[in-house]
A and B are shown apart, each in its own frame.
Chain A
Amino acid sequence: MSQPESAVADAQAGGRSGEPLAKLAERYGLRRAIARPRFPVYVRQLLERRHFILTYATSRNVSKYSNSALGQLWQVLTPLLNAAIYFLMFGIILGGNKNITNYPAFLLTGMFIFTYTQRTVTAGAKSISGNLSLIRALHFPRASLPLAYTIQELQQLAISMGVLLSLVVITKEPPNWFWLMIPIVLLLQTMFNVGAGLVIARLGSSMRDLNQLLPFITRTWLYASGVFFSIQDKVVGSAGLPQWVANVMYLNPAASYIEWMRDILIQSHHPENGHNPPLMVLVSCVSWAVFALGFGFWYFWRAEERYGRG
């Protein structure tokens, strides 16, 4: 049944012009409908789509709370409630950490910074697989989607940072000139998040089970990043492991960004450095940002033409 029908189709197309269709296409300058642009072109196309990316991110943020009675107020309430729960749990019930001065500020900084990366990665995993209908309907560089999801989280973070800074001031850490470095840390972290989001988006587009697995991965990451405790104190102090183990743990990107932010916000965090992070943390923050961003875009771009298949 199948053979004759396709034979008819072949005869139909080939019989008329007598030349292979690929040649015919070449003669008239037709291009393949689905072709991956070269990398620089891709990046340029992506920049041209910045309005879409921004509008899409904002729209998602607005629509997220549009069905609730308090509406956009939840953008502020959610981080506040989170802060309250973490503080109740780790600060009061579990008794906090006696070695850490200003534990509330220590905990909240860690939690908010980590949440930014965690949420970006989780959202990024669904950015392609959850938008197949959009991908199958319109043309745009697919990296727009993970990028929009990261920007959506960045917009959320802007509000969380407002909450965090007010809470930090309440815990008697007065604002100072070092706060000017906050945007730099957040920029580096955002670069890392964009890259991580792109990598996870490609992985998530073909591995559906990633969404089930991610909560466990991010929770392990949370514990390894010293959000509730000081890596130095626990690993070297309590557990008696060699210093290099702690150093390796500080090199994990989440821990590095948290560490730098704590140095900025909490006076007593690294007394020997003032408000500056140790060189190792600084190098780690910058390297991860540059590496993740570059690799992420390249890795995501490599599969550009295949995302529609699901």
Chain B
Amino acid sequence: MAELTKELSQVKGQEPAVPDKDVRVHPDPAPAGKRPPLDVPTGTPTVIVDDLHIVYRVYGAASDNEKGNAVNALTRLLKRQGRPQMKEVHAVKGVTFVAYHGDAIGIVGRNGSGKSTLLRAIAGLLPPHAGAVYTDGQPSLLGVNAALMRELTGERNIVLGCYAMGMTPSEVREKYQEIVDFSGIDEFVQLPMSTYSSGMGARLRFAISSAKTHDVLLIDEALATGDREFRRKSEERIRHIRESAGTVFLVAHDLKVIEQTCNRVIWLHKGKIKMDGEPGEVLAAYNKG
């Protein structure tokens, strides 16, 4: 509680003129003016998150005195209790916000604050425990990694990844060369991905997953990979995607990336929104906290 009050006074201190209630509401739109002002009714919402709670099930997380005892296990079975190895993690605890067309929202927070979980819930990949997420179109997570297989060649993985994202065969043929060129892995495309350096693997994964266009795009730490040249290329591509997409969410630990690409930042702390507003303001508070 003390922490929160301190937080409030900090923000208030910076902008004393703003009434208390509006401190955490969006301030004026970003100076770039790429989107309509948020408080104007014409701004179309694209993602509405309404008091969202996400509970994860984690297996194998028992404390020492609970596990491994057969008698205990049987008793639990008879009493129809859940297994002790199964722990429920309340990752997102009542998050509420509205994202508008043209928003690029950065999400910051410490490790384990629920950032990735929130993205997955927006993408409709994790069912809410309570509350709801409403979206316009199908939000997609920029992340095809899980579908790829290390033992297979880059070539096969490109095809597999594209199909996993829901492309048609003609789209795959069309995008194939573009992906190879963008990733810059050249003749390594014939070799299994297990032989790639970590940078090469990351480049190929990013190239595959960003090959598709999206309405609402969710990016989870995709920019922190590759050498400087590739980072420049990928940031450019993100900007391009952002222009064609309705709304972009970006999770990153690199605050500079967020500052450069986003017009709004949400600070998550222990599964709750601690602050939501203009990048400069929120990031300043985040750096202090």
> Which residues of A line the B interface, CB within 8 A?
1-2, 4-6, 8-17, 21-22, 24-25, 28-35, 48-49, 51-52, 55-56, 59-60, 62-63, 66-67, 131, 133-140, 208, 305-306, 308-310
> Which residues of B line the A interface, CB within 8 A?
1, 4, 21, 24-25, 39, 44-48, 50-51, 55-59, 93-98, 120-128, 132-136, 138-141, 143-147, 149-152, 156, 159-160, 163-166, 168-169, 192, 272-274, 276
Given contacts A9-B94, A13-B96, A137-B144, 6 further A-B contacts (CB under 8 A): A13-B50, A25-B132, A33-B133, A63-B152, A135-B125, A309-B127
Least CB distance, A303 to chain B, in whole angstroms: 10
Bound state CA distance, A308 and B141, in angstroms? 14
Least CB distance, A91 to chain B, in whole angstroms: 36
**B45 engages A30 (CB within 8 Å):** yes
Would A25 and B48 be within 8 Å (CB), given that A136-B126, A309-B127 are in contact?
Answer: yes
Interface of B, helix, strand, loop or mixed by DSSP: mixed
Interface of A, helix, strand, loop or mixed by DSSP: helix
Bound state CA distance, A25 and B265, in angstroms? 22
16 residue pairs bridging A and B, Cβ less than 8 Å apart: A4-B4, A21-B48, A21-B96, A29-B136, A32-B132, A32-B133, A33-B122, A33-B132, A59-B160, A66-B192, A138-B144, A139-B138, A139-B166, A308-B125, A308-B127, A309-B56
Chain B neighbourhood of A140, CB < 8 A: 164, 166
**A34 engages B136 (CB within 8 Å):** no
Interface centre among A1, A12, A135, A136 (most CB of B within 10 A): A12
Would A136 and B120 be within 8 Å (CB), given that A59-B156, A310-B59 are in contact?
Answer: yes
Partner of A139, one of B124, B151, B273: B124
Bound state CA distance, A15 and B141, in angstroms? 30
Chain B neighbourhood of A134, CB < 8 A: 146-147, 164
Would A136 and B151 be within 8 Å (CB), given that A4-B4, A12-B276, A30-B134 are in contact?
Answer: no
**B45 engages A6 (CB within 8 Å):** no
**A55 engages B141 (CB within 8 Å):** no
Chain B neighbourhood of A8, CB < 8 A: 4, 24, 273
**CB nearest neighbor in B for A307:** B127
Bound state CA distance, A2 and B125, in angstroms? 26
Chain B neighbourhood of A56, CB < 8 A: 147, 160, 163-164
Least CB distance, A208 to chain B, in whole angstroms: 6
